[in-house]
Amino acid sequence: MIRNKHRIGGHKASVYALCRGMQSGEFFTSGGDGLLVRWQLDNPEQGVALANAGVQVFSLATVPDHNLVMAGDMNGGLHWIDLADAKNIRRQTSHSCGVFSILPLGERLLTGGGKGKLNVWSLERQELMSSRQISDKSIRAMAFSSLRNEVALGCSDNNIYLLDSESLKTRQVIGQAHNSSVFTLAYDRSGQVLYSGGRDAILNAWQLAPELQLIKSVPAHNYTVNAVELICKGKYLATASRDKTVKLWDSESLELLKVLETIRDDGHRHSVNRLLWLEEHEKLVSVSDDRSGIIWEVV
């Protein structure tokens, strides 16, 4: 069903951040060494280091219309990396501590981090527009549904906040969505189901309409669920964990279908931190504390 197609290496520390690139089959990674590296599926052995943030990077996002890669660091800095001049990085203080999530939203950029503040940036002017206190604890994850005009925030206060994507006003709070920090979120293709994973190692599926309800909750991993990603046109859900595994689930029933492990599947040797589905190529990318990434091929 799925196999290790290629392992990418070259980072000198844990890889924490992963995002799609500007072109088809391209993606970026960064992490503890601060390097921004560009990879291409048709030549995965030749990663290109484009920039160095000089500090641990926790989050990445691309803004193709502005030719920008955005990087959030462990100290609350936001790095504006123009690919036309990637060595000349512009850094601004975004949060008082780590920037854990970045979400481009039209001509705005949302950043979430330590101390529970949601910052809103102008992409055109590259400046802070507004700041809103969401929680008294960190914002760990963000997801967007265009069908619902909604942004979901997962926080270390164990709650999920659902915001109107235009006004950014809170529509609803899923209180105590997890028993510990909410680390990752993903909407399904209909926008009616929200998946969440947390430090409690639980995977939850939430029905959002016509009324909010928890559809199913499964003990997904042995340790923190770091990432959830819908794959294969939403048919499957992939999760990544600190327990070193990537798991595949039926997205409707949350039946476990496959566990990608260290030895049997030539998987990761340490915590798996991020996932990225490249649908046009049917490839899943994972990155890890073992300083590597794996390109998984669905067969």
Domain boundaries, the chain: 2-298
Q: Which of 161, 158, 113, 167 is nearest to 138 (CA)?
A: 113
pLDDT by residue (tens digit) across 213-236? 999 999 999 999 999 999 999 999
Per this entry, what is the length of the chain? Answer: 299
Query: 2-298 sits in which CATH class?
Result: mainly beta
The predicted pLDDT at position 1 comes to: 80
pLDDT by residue (tens digit) across 237-293? 999 999 999 999 999 999 999 999 999 999 999 999 999 999 999 999 999 999 999
For residue 116, what is the DSSP state?
Answer: G
Q: Is 63 exposed, middle or buried (0-12, 13-18, 19+ CB in 10 A)?
A: middle
Task: Count CA atoms closer than 13 A to 123's CA, side-chain side.
Answer: 22
Residues 171 and 131: their CA atoms lie apart, in Å, by 18
pLDDT by residue (tens digit) across 99-134? 999 999 999 999 999 999 999 999 999 999 999 999
Residue 57 Cα distances to 41, 79, 240, angstroms: 23, 9, 19
Residue 25 Cα distances to 7, 62, 99, angstroms: 15, 14, 26
Q: What is the mean pLDDT of residues 36-52?
A: 96
